[in-house]
Amino acid sequence: MEGSRHEKATVLILSYVIGFVTAFILFSGNVQFLPKANIETAEAPVANTNSASAIQAERNTPKSPNEVSPEMPRRNNFDLSYENGLLEVTVNRTQNLLSFNPDVTNNTTFDLSSPQGFHYGNIVYKASADNSFVFFCEKHDIEAEACYGFVYDVKGDRIYPIIKDGEVALVSDQSAAEAIWTVLGLKVGSNYSANATAPWVLIDAN
């Protein structure tokens, strides 16, 4: 009697051990260990600096982290868009309004006598290659053939007027349209940034 009780206990324990080992083998054979997500490429898709909206950027999103098309550079946490009369920049999911068109968007809280923050007609805007700065040019009169240039400092979260010879510069439509960012800063017409850290201060190239 005594021996049979011990035999039953031993058989029961062995059954549990065999069952556990079998379950472990079956479970571990079906588990797939996924690679860790690359945080840099796992962020939401971002827009090209010339894109009209984030929706267009999603259409151009590369299919893999290594496929970066010229139209869609991989610059995470930054989106510059113009839609419904609003020029906006989003950095790390924080959205900032740079300029709005009163003919398209009603913004009753904004004073239109302010020297910056609104525009009429189309607006020219371009981000630097590293997305540290955004150049944009506001027409404060729909009939104007020139605009007031500004540079948004992304890191400092501040807008500066384009200055030349100590005064706010008025930029021709053609110069605004042809403005480019270089390694030395901003080039507007024949004027260049005095230094890359304050690209809103322009000097003549000649």
pLDDT tens, 33-85? Answer: 223 222 122 232 222 333 222 222 232 333 333 333 333 343 458 999 999 99
- Which burial class, exposed, middle or buried, applies to 46 when counting CB atoms under 10 A from its CB (0-12, 13-18, 19+)? buried
Instruction: Tell me the percentage of the chain whose pLDDT exceeds 90.
Output: 54
At 205 the pLDDT is 73
Q: What is the full DSSP assignment across 40-79?
A: HHHSPP---TT-S-HHHHHHT--SSTT---TTS---TTEE
**Weakest-pLDDT range from 10-19, 57-66, 129-138, 192-201:** 57-66
Average model confidence (pLDDT) for the chain? 73
**Weakest-pLDDT range from 43-47, 144-148, 182-186:** 43-47
pLDDT tens, 115-142? Answer: 999 999 999 999 999 999 999 999 999 9
CA distance linking residue 134 with residue 83, whole number of Å: 16
93 — pLDDT class (breaks 50, 70, 90): confident
